[in-house]
């Protein structure tokens, strides 16, 4: 696996815990960043959905301290941005131009707009995350693996799989895909089963080979999303048990 550097954070060498900041103003976003880092996050996802303009996005990126991933979600992907796709990509482009640690774009974004952002990120040597996301269901394992191969063909620096789990069978399917991703991808990745059935996927995917995961700032804030402390503790407990069993 090829590690990726986001400022002073190296993704791909040890588990990375990401927490999200989402607010309507730059000051509100900066407060969210402080809260995320205080909660123990290694990296902050800057959800710029609600910021008023590209200028505000650039201002935020220049002022934020620490490694971050800039994302702008529409309702289709569980977010709040309701402008045009061109405007959304322009805002992510503003983040690239301002020196963002990393930008995030969905595989299912409009093809030309997605390609424009990926090309700009590559030209600026800005790491880019491409996510294969389904907010409604968990497709078949074959569909997911085909999707991950299509994402890898875009030459991202980071990959994310996020699908909604309606059952523990869906959770198990996602974890099985994690093993395939570990064997086939040469870049760091996250794999998440959303919803209450998917909560165990956060630490379990890390234990199986994922490089990073997403956490909540407060318990119960998002169904199925553990806090940074909960995810860390779960992973550490599993690691200790694995070492104990291998020693006996």
Cα separation, 200 vs 99, whole angstroms: 34
For 44-58, the pLDDT digits (tens) are 999 999 999 999 999
pLDDT at 81: 97
pLDDT at position 62? 98
pLDDT tens figures, 97-117: 999 999 999 999 999 999 999
pLDDT band at 247 (very low <50, low <70, confident <90, very high): very low
pLDDT band at 246 (very low <50, low <70, confident <90, very high): very low
The per-residue pLDDT of the chain, averaged, comes to 94
pLDDT of amino acid 248? 47
Q: Does position 245 have pLDDT exceeding 70, yes or no? A: no
What is the pLDDT at residue 242? 57
Q: What is the mean pLDDT of residues 112-130?
A: 97
Residue 243 has pLDDT above 80, yes or no: no
6 φ, ψ (degrees, to nearest 5) = -115, 100
For residue range 164-193, list pLDDT tens digits in order.
999 999 999 999 999 999 999 999 999 999
**SS3 of 71, please?**
strand
The DSSP secondary structure of 220-247, one letter per residue, reads TSSTT--BHHHHHHHHHHHHHHHHHHHH
Residue 99 has phi, psi (to 5 degrees) of 95, 30
Q: What is the mean predicted confidence (pLDDT) over 194-201?
A: 95
Fold of 4-247: TIM Barrel (3.20.20)
For 31, 77, 165, 208, the CA distances from 87, given in Å and listed in that order, are 25, 16, 31, 38
The whole-angstrom separation of Cα 76 and Cα 3 is: 30
If pLDDT is split at 50, 70 and 90, which confidence band does 92 have? very high
Q: Quick one: pLDDT band at residue 238, thresholds 50, 70, 90?
A: confident
In this predicted model, what pLDDT tens digit does every residue of 146-166 receive, in sequence order?
999 999 999 999 999 999 999
């Amino acid at each position: 696996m090829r590690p990726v550097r986001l400022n002073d954070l190296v993704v791909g060498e040890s588990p990375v815990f990401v927490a999200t900041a989402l607010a309507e103003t730059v000051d509100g976003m900066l407060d969210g960043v402080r809260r995320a880092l205080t909660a123990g996050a290694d990296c902050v996802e800057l959800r710029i959905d609600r910021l008023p303009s590209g200028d505000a996005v650039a201002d935020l990126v220049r002022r934020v301290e620490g490694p971050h991933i800039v994302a702008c979600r529409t309702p289709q992907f569980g977010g709040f941005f309701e402008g045009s796709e061109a405007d959304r990509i322009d805002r992510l482009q503003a983040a690239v131009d301002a020196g963002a640690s990393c930008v995030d774009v969905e595989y299912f974004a409009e093809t030309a707009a997605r390609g424009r952002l990926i090309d700009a990120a590559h030209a600026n040597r800005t790491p880019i995350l491409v996510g294969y996301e389904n907010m409604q269901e968990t497709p078949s394992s074959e569909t997911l693996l085909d999707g991950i191969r299509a994402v890898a063909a875009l030459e991202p620096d980071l990959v994310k799989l996020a699908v909604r789990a309606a059952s523990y069978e869906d959770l198990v399917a996602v974890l099985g895909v994690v093993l395939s991703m570990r064997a086939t991808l040469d870049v760091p990745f996250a794999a998440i089963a959303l919803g209450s059935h998917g909560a165990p996927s956060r630490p379990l995917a890390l234990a199986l080979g994922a490089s990073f995961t997403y956490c909540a700032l407060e318990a119960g804030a998002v169904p199925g999303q553990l806090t940074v402390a909960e995810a860390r503790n779960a992973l550490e407990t599993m690691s200790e048990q694995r070492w104990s069993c291998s020693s006996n």
